[in-house]
Chain A
Amino acid sequence: MGKFDNRAGRRLVAGIPLFWLLLFFLIPFIIVLKISFSEVRLAMPPYAPLLQWVQGWPSPKLHLGNYGFLFTDPLYISSYLYSLKVAAVSTLCCLLIGYPMAYAISHASPTWRTVLLMMIVLPFWTSFLLRVYAWIGLLKNNGVINNILMYFGIIHEPLSMLQSDFAVYIGIVYSYLPFMILPLYANLEKHDNTLLEAAADLGATPMTGFFRITLPQSIAGIIAGSLLVFIPAVGEYVVPSLLGRTDQLMIGRVLSDEFFENRDWPVASAVAILILLALVIPIMLFQHFQRRELEAQE
């Protein structure tokens, strides 16, 4: 809006959200960090006070036991690795399914494109929780899939599909698919199709055209979509709770259990910090790509 905005006005417009987010987003993380270093107490709130006063000076009391606990207990380590694995595999599946879909939509006629986008987006607007629930009905032992397979005599015993890795993959891929398709579509839609025509004119097969022209140009969309799926999937709670294994928990479930079941807020905080550490780089990558995308539009 020009270089002559009055200072006070600008301060207000930028300052209000800045203040809000500092208070409700940034400072909370600092508090989590602090509590991860504190000891659990049988009190309300169930952790040792934030600052100890020693001879008139505030002195933070750092208790590293929570982290030590996490690093030595195999339950936690395996949950981390399991979560990272599940998130990575789910992201890959989302990509393999979502990319061709986004591609097809971007090459459809304008009317179809609107309809198809609406169809992709419609599930997104209905409840996440309910859509995961739907898979319970499909996957359980007397659920739809088993009933159909048994009806046609393909199997005689119901397949145990719930409470498994398979169910979790399906649940995550199913819920996060629109998040992969939309950034990919946004990217693919901007491609100049005359480039492909030029390639065909020079003798390239359609597959070559795809791998050497379309794919490289869509890398930004691939990365954006993948981050949009991977990062939240690591800490996913609902899908593993409803569909996942009981013998191997994902880290989001671990955090929640520590908090709600064990009332061990410090350990829950430590878990959160360690998840954050693993995700810091992907989150920064995501922010970088968001910024680039907006700048490209200017």
Chain B
Amino acid sequence: MSAQLQVDAPAAASREQGAPAAFVRIEHVTKKFGEFAAVDDVSLDIQQGEIFCLLGGSGSGKTTLLRMLAGFETPTTGKIYIDGQDMSTIPPYERRINMMFQSYALFPHMTVEKNVAFGLEQEKLGKSEIRTRVADILEIVKMSSFTARKPHQLSGGQRQRVALARALVKRPKLLLLDEPLAALDRKLREHTQFELINIQKRLGVTFIVVTHDQEEAMTLSTRMGVMNHGKIAQVGTPAAIYESPATKFVADFIGSVNMFEGRVMVPGTGRIESDELGCTVVVDRKLNCAGGSTVWTAVRPEKINMSRSLEDASGPRENLVRGTVKEIAYMGDVSIYLVQIDSGKTVRVTLPNIMRDAEHRITRDETVYLSWHGSSPVVLTE
């Protein structure tokens, strides 16, 4: 992308230009509770077969948006179309959508088999067909030997799989998942992430996932939308959002970032004067904005090179500052260094621990030089 300052205009979130008609179309949807807008003029298109993640902190509006898709809330203004059909008058029990709840919401008084069969019974299918379909889906989620158990006799991971089976057995066009991995412990979470992706590919269902966990969103999604205060901040693939955040909020929300204020003195160049850094930042593109305007340079910690000597520095000569290592956090695979540069500001640098032995690694209170390539920073105006 060669767009300079704003990758996507965040306020008018995203509509794919010239893409095929979207499977899920959310048009200017607002949801107010009293005076408070939980969802504020959100427009979004989601394609069939995607795994789309809504990522945001608590209060960002992501769960409210999901519940509107499911039919448990109605939009105050705006419309939601699913497969071309306007959902305004359609109650949850008539939508070809199913939801996997954060608490799983398994019926405690029914066995696994009856839980999964419940949705099919509402469709008034024949007993033998129900039995077959239930057996098939339980096979897919690997819960076939638990049919007679009740939910309280299952572990957390098992309950999650039953909840998934119950939602998928109706072959919905769209599956909504509310924080699907939140209740699982770390190892189980990683394993389940890949299982979910496999199942989705196998069945071809469109997934919309709501989560507050960046890692989850980055792993699962084909595309994701970052939400903040009821609005969509940015929509894109995980890579696009990570490498080209559109706003300071997104840059800061996903992963870690170093943010420096600066001014573009001469328009049309790639030079930014930054007092916070105490140097001139050189980027490898031309910045089209008025002279003297304030911009923010965002550089991710892993893209900064840290060296003991000037000779080992990388990138343009201008992208260089000197500093002292104040703190080190050893994480095993990488180490995080907090470096106080001459201007007084602290820069976060991540380096892989290439050397096993501690001798060669940079230690506390050492003087170091930080440098980066012209392609590394993202320049933002908001």
Question: What mask results when residues 230 to 273 of chain A are scored 1 for a CB within 8 Å of chain B, else 0?
Answer: 00000000000000000000000000000000000000000000
In the assembled complex, A3 has its CB within 8 A of some CB on chain B? yes
CB under 8 Å from chain A, chain B span 53-101: 71-72, 74, 91-93
Closest to B93 in A: A4
Does A45 lie at the interface of the complex (its beta carbon under 8 Å from any beta carbon of B)? no
Q: List A contacts of B93 (CB < 8 A).
A: 4
Nearest A residue to B90 via CB reads: A4
CB distance from A298 to the nearest CB of B (A): 15
Give CA–CA (A223, B74) in the complex, Å.
Answer: 39
Q: Mark B40-60, 1 if CB is under 8 A from A, else 0.
A: 000000000000000000000
What A residues does B74 contact at CB under 8 A?
3
Min Cβ gap A199→B in Å is 31
A110 contacts the other chain (CB 8 A): no
Residues of B within 8 A of A4 (CB): 71, 91-93
- Tell me the residues in window 1-21 of chain A with beta carbons closer than 8 Å to chain B beta carbons: 2-4
Which residue from chain B places its CB closest to the CB of A6 in the assembled complex? Answer: B91
For A5, give the chain B residue with the smallest CB separation: B91
**Inter-chain contacts of B72 with A (CB < 8 A):** 2
Q: Mark A112-128, 1 if CB is under 8 A from B, else 0.
A: 00000000000000000
Name B94's closest neighbour in chain A (CB-CB): A4
Name the distance in Å between A98's Cβ and chain B's nearest Cβ.
Answer: 36
Closest-by-CB residue of A relative to B92 is A2
Distance of A4 Cα from B87 Cα, bound (Å): 13
Contacts of A2 in B (CB 8 A): 71-72, 91-92
Considering the chains assembled together, what is the distance between the CA atoms of A2 and B74 in angstroms?
A: 10
Instruction: Report the minimal beta-carbon distance from A7 to chain B, rounded to whole angstroms.
Output: 13
Instruction: A2 to B92: give the CA distance in the assembly, Å.
Output: 9
Question: In the complex, what residue of chain B is closest to A3 when comparing beta carbons?
Answer: B74
In the assembled complex, the CB of B79 is this many whole angstroms from the nearest CB of chain A, namely 17
Interface residues of A in 143-201 (CB under 8 A from B): none
CA distance A2 to B91 in the complex (A): 9
Identify which of residues 192-220 in chain A touch chain B, using a CB-to-CB cut-off of 8 Å: none
In the assembled complex, the CB of B46 is this many whole angstroms from the nearest CB of chain A, namely 24
What residues of A have a CB within 8 angstroms of the CB of B91 in the complex? 2-4
Please name all residues of chain B whose beta carbon is closer than 8 Å to the beta carbon of A3 when the two chains form the complex.
74, 91
Report Cα–Cα, A4/B92, bound state, in Å: 8
How far apart are A293's CB and chain B's nearest CB, in angstroms?
23
A150 to B30, CA, bound (A): 82
Complex formed: what's the CA distance from A51 to B303 in Å? 93
The minimal Cβ–Cβ distance linking B375 to chain A, given in whole angstroms, is 52
Shortest CB distance B74–A (Å): 6
**Per-residue A-contact encoding for B90-132, CB less than 8 Å = 1, 0 else:** 0111000000000000000000000000000000000000000
Q: How far is the CB of A58 from chain B (nearest CB, A)?
A: 46
Residues from chain A with a CB closer than 8 A to the CB of B92 are 2, 4
The CA-CA distance from A4 to B74 in the complex, in Å, is 10
Chain A nearest CB, measured from B99 CB (Å): 13
Q: How far is the CA of A3 from the CA of B74 in the complex (A)?
A: 9
Distance in Å from the Cβ of B70 to the closest Cβ of chain A?
10
B91: nearest chain-A partner, CB-CB: A4
B66 to nearest A CB, angstroms? 15
Q: Which residue of A lies closest to B89 (CB)?
A: A4
CB distance from B76 to the nearest CB of A (A): 13
Complex Cα–Cα for A24 and B289 (A): 78
Interface string of B154-186 (1 = CB under 8 A from A): 000000000000000000000000000000000
CA gap between A62 and B151 in the complex, in Å: 66
The interface bits of chain B over 247-281 (1 if a CB of A lies within 8 angstroms of the residue's CB, else 0) are 00000000000000000000000000000000000
Query: How many angstroms from the CA of A237 to the CA of B74 in the assembled complex?
Result: 54
Docked complex Cα distance between A4 and B93 (Å): 9
B176 to chain A, nearest CB (A): 16
- Min distance, Cβ A5 to any Cβ of chain B, angstroms: 9
- A57 CB, min distance to chain B CBs, angstroms: 49
A173 to chain B, nearest CB (A): 42
Query: Closest CB of chain B to A232's CB: distance in Å?
Result: 38
Give A4 Cβ to nearest chain B Cβ, in Å: 3
A238 to chain B, nearest CB (A): 42
CA distance A3 to B75 in the complex (A): 12
Shortest CB distance B117–A (Å): 22
The answer for the CA separation of A4 and B73 in the assembled complex, in Å, is: 10
Complexed CA–CA distance, A4 and B94 (Å): 11
**In the assembly, what is the distance between CA of A74 and CA of B71, in Å?**
66
Query: What CA separation (Å) do A289 and B195 show in the bound complex?
Result: 50
Interchain nearest-CB distance for B72 vs A (Å): 7
Q: How far is the CA of A3 from the CA of B72 in the complex (A)?
A: 8
Give complex CA distance A4, B88 in Å.
Answer: 11
Give the docked Cα–Cα distance between A4 and B91 (Å).
Answer: 6
Query: What is the CB-to-nearest-CB distance from A295 to chain B, in angstroms, rounded to a whole number?
Result: 16
Residue of A whose beta carbon sits closest to that of B73: A3
Which B residue sits closest to A4, measured CB to CB? Answer: B91
Instruction: Tell me how far the C-beta of B53 lies from the nearest C-beta in chain A, rounded to whole angstroms.
Output: 26
Cα A3 to Cα B93 in complex, Å, equals 12
Kindly state the separation between the CA atoms of A2 and B68 in the bound complex, as whole angstroms: 12
Bound-state CA distance A2–B95 (Å) is: 14
9 A–B contacts, CB within 8 A, in A order = A2-B71, A2-B72, A2-B92, A3-B74, A3-B91, A4-B71, A4-B91, A4-B92, A4-B93
Give me the interface of B with A, judged by CB distance under 8 Å. Answer: 71-72, 74, 91-93
Beyond A2-B71, A2-B92, A4-B93, 7 additional contacts (C-beta under 8 Å) are A2-B72, A2-B91, A3-B74, A3-B91, A4-B71, A4-B91, A4-B92
Top 3 nearest A-B pairs (CB, nearest first) are: A4-B91, A3-B74, A2-B92
